[in-house]
Amino acid sequence: MLQSIHDKAKGILGIIIVIFIALVFGLWGIGDYLAGPTEKFVAKVDDIQISQSEFDQGLARQRQRVEQMFQGKLPDSPVFEQQLKNQTLEQLITQRVLQKMVAEEGYRVSDQILAQKIKSMSAFQQDGVFAADTYQSIVESQGMAVKEFENLFRNDLAVQQLQDAVMRSSIIGKAELDLLNKIQNQSRKVSYLLFTDEDYFNEVTVTDDEIAEYFDANQQMFMNPETVRIAYVELSENDLVKDIPVDEEAVERLYDEYVASQQGKEQRKARHILIDVAADAGSQALEEARQSAENILAKIKQGESFEKLAAEFSKDPGSANNGGDLGWVAKGMMVPEFEQALFKLQKNQVSELIKSSFGFHIIRLDDVRAEDIDSFASKKAELVKRYRAQKLEDRFYEQSELMATTAYENDQSLQAVADALGLQIKVSEAFSRDQGKGIAENDKVRNAAFDTSVLAENRNSDIIELGNNHAMVLRIDSHTAASPKKLDEVKSVIAARLKLEKASEKSKADALQSLAKLENGESIDSAAVKQSAQLIKLGDIKRDNTALDSALLRGVFGMPKPVNHQPVFDVVELTSGTAVIQLSDVTEPAEASKQALQQMSQQLQNEQATREMAAVLEFLKSRTTIVRNENL
Higher pLDDT: 575 or 631? It is: 575
Q: How far apart are CA 357 and CA 318, in angstroms?
A: 17
For residue 144, CA distances in Å to 29, 423, 561 come to: 11, 48, 64
**Which CATH number belongs to the domain containing residue 283 in this structure?**
3.10.50.40
Boundary (domain end) residue, out of 369, 398, 426: 369
Boundary (domain end) residue, out of 335, 369, 403: 369
Residues 154 and 228 in one domain: no
Question: Is 614 a member of any domain?
Answer: no
Cβ atoms of residues 392 and 386 within 8 Å:
no
Question: Is 52 a member of any domain?
Answer: yes
- By percentage, how much of the chain surpasses pLDDT 70? 88
Residues 133 and 213 in one domain: no
Non-local CB neighbours of 352 within 8 Å, separated by 6+ positions: 297
At residue 5 the predicted structure's pLDDT band, cuts being 50, 70 and 90, is very low
At residue 618 the predicted structure's pLDDT band, cuts being 50, 70 and 90, is confident
Residues 142 and 32 in one domain: yes
Residues 471 and 567 in one domain: no
Residues 217-253: pLDDT tens digits? 999 899 999 999 999 999 988 877 776 778 888 888 8
Average pLDDT over residues 574-578: 93
pLDDT at residue 301, as a whole number = 93
Residues 72 and 217 in one domain: no
Question: Is 580 a member of any domain?
Answer: yes
Residues 428 and 515 in one domain: no
- Can you give the residue range of the structural domain that contains 477? 224-246+378-484
Task: Indicate left, alpha or beta for 266 from its phi (over 0: left) and psi (-120 to 50: alpha).
Answer: beta
For residue 112, CA distances in Å to 109, 145, 211, 243 come to: 8, 19, 79, 66
For residue 456, CA distances in Å to 45, 224, 632 come to: 39, 20, 23
Helix axes 78-104, 52-69, angle to 10 degrees: 120
Question: Is 599 a member of any domain?
Answer: no
Residues 36-70: pLDDT tens digits? 334 568 888 888 888 887 887 778 777 777 777 76
Residues 291 and 232 in one domain: no
For residue 569, CA distances in Å to 197, 513, 533, 539, 557 come to: 21, 12, 16, 15, 12
pLDDT at residue 592, as a whole number = 78
What is the DSSP annotation of 282-333?
-HHHHHHHHHHHHHHHHHHHTT--HHHHHHHH---TTTGGGTTEEEEEETTS
| CA-based nearest residue to 27, from 55, 69, 68, 66 | 55
Question: Is 608 a member of any domain?
Answer: no
| CA-based nearest residue to 101, from 35, 28, 37, 165 | 165
Q: How far apart are CA 504 and CA 534, in angstroms?
A: 16
Residues 459 and 515 in one domain: no
Cβ atoms of residues 473 and 402 within 8 Å:
no
Count up the domains in the chain and report the number: 4
Question: Is 253 a member of any domain?
Answer: no
Mean pLDDT: which of 137-146, 276-285, 329-338, 575-584 is highest? 575-584
Residues 89-100: pLDDT tens digits? 888 888 888 888
Residues 144 and 43 in one domain: yes
Q: Counting Cβ atoms within 10 Å, is residue 519 exposed (0-12), middle (13-18) or buried (19+)?
A: exposed
Q: Counting Cβ atoms within 10 Å, is residue 514 exposed (0-12), middle (13-18) or buried (19+)?
A: buried
Residues 343 and 359 in one domain: yes
Helix axes 111-119, 146-168, angle to 10 degrees: 100
Strand partners, 274: 361
pLDDT at residue 27, as a whole number = 37
Q: Counting Cβ atoms within 10 Å, is residue 97 exposed (0-12), middle (13-18) or buried (19+)?
A: buried
Question: Is 403 a member of any domain?
Answer: yes
Cβ atoms of residues 285 and 275 within 8 Å:
no
Q: How far apart are CA 44 and CA 97, in angstroms?
A: 10
Residues 390 and 365 in one domain: no
Mean pLDDT of the chain: 84
Boundary (domain end) residue, out of 369, 402, 420: 369
Question: Is 182 a member of any domain?
Answer: no
- The distance in angstroms from the start CA to the end CA of the chain is 53
The CB-side HSE value for 508 (13 A sphere, CA atoms) comes to 10
Residues 198 and 162 in one domain: no
For residue 163, CA distances in Å to 101, 157, 204, 608, 623 come to: 11, 10, 61, 12, 19
Average pLDDT over residues 499-527: 94
Distance from chain centroid for Cα 398: 33
| The pLDDT of residue 355 is above 70 | yes
What is the DSSP annotation of 353-384?
-EEETTEEEEEEEEEEE------HHHHHHHHH
**Which CATH number belongs to the domain containing residue 151 in this structure?**
1.10.4030.10
